[in-house]
């Protein structure tokens, strides 16, 4: 599957799309990147005057790349327009702040994928290769009811 096609199938668009590029994907994991635009609305009030990216946005970025994109790849032709993607659990440790204009890379390694549930070990690194957050994410891809 073409990497651009995976991103096109995501149910997110600007300003809530946190995937700029998918670098690699296979049956065991995925690697992708995103640069946080300094004009994103949440920076106006999150640590006013010294903005940093909220942890919930870092989790969302890891989930979009590390779960949703990987899940779409794993399902391939079974992924339809009626699919619903839902985050089901998180266990994330935050290690360093992420600032506006910073590019991060997400590395996700599949732990298991069965019955529509995907669980992954996910790491986000900054441009210097330092881990900024890491942990476990799980989600489900199901058909709309």
* CATH number assigned to the domain comprising residue 59: 3.10.129.10
Task: Give the residue numbers annotated as catalytic, written as ranges.
Answer: 46
Residue 134: domain span: 3-143
CA distances from 133 to 10, 104, 124 (A): 23, 10, 5
Give the integer Cα–Cα distance in Å for 37 and 60.
15
Q: In the prediction, which pLDDT does 29 show?
A: 97
Q: In the prediction, which pLDDT does 48 show?
A: 82
For residue 120, which of 95, 87, 144 has the smallest C-alpha distance? Answer: 87
Q: In the prediction, which pLDDT does 6 show?
A: 93
Q: In the prediction, which pLDDT does 76 show?
A: 82
Q: In the prediction, which pLDDT does 36 show?
A: 97
> Which tokens go with 22?
């998918």
Q: Are strands 117-125 and 83-94 parallel, antiparallel or unpaired?
A: unpaired
Residues with Cβ within 8 Å of residue 35, at least 6 apart in sequence: 20, 101, 102, 103, 104
SS3 state of residue 47: coil
The pLDDT tens digits along the chain (145 residues) read 678 899 999 989 999 999 999 999 999 999 999 999 999 999 988 888 899 999 999 999 999 999 999 999 998 877 777 788 899 999 999 999 999 999 999 999 999 999 889 999 999 999 999 999 999 999 998 776 5
Domain count, the chain: 1
Q: In the prediction, which pLDDT does 92 show?
A: 98
Greatest Cα-to-Cα distance within the chain, rounded to the nearest angstrom: 46
């Amino acid at each position: 599957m073409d990497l651009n096609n995976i991103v096109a199938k995501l149910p997110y668009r600007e300003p809530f799309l946190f995937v700029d590029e998918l670098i690699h994907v296979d049956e065991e994991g995925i690697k992708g990147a995103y640069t946080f635009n300094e004009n994103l609305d949440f920076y106006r009030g999150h640590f006013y005057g010294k903005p940093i990216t909220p942890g919930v946005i870092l989790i969302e970025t890891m989930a979009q790349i590390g779960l949703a994109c990987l899940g779409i790849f794993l399902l391939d032709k079974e992924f339809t327009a009626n699919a619903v993607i839902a985050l089901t659990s998180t266990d994330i440790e935050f290690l360093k702040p992420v600032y506006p204009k910073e590019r991060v890379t997400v590395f996700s390694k599949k732990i298991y994928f069965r019955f529509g549930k995907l669980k992954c070990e996910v790491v986000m690194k900054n441009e210097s290769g330092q881990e900024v957050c890491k942990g476990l994410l799980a989600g489900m891809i199901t058909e709309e009811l």
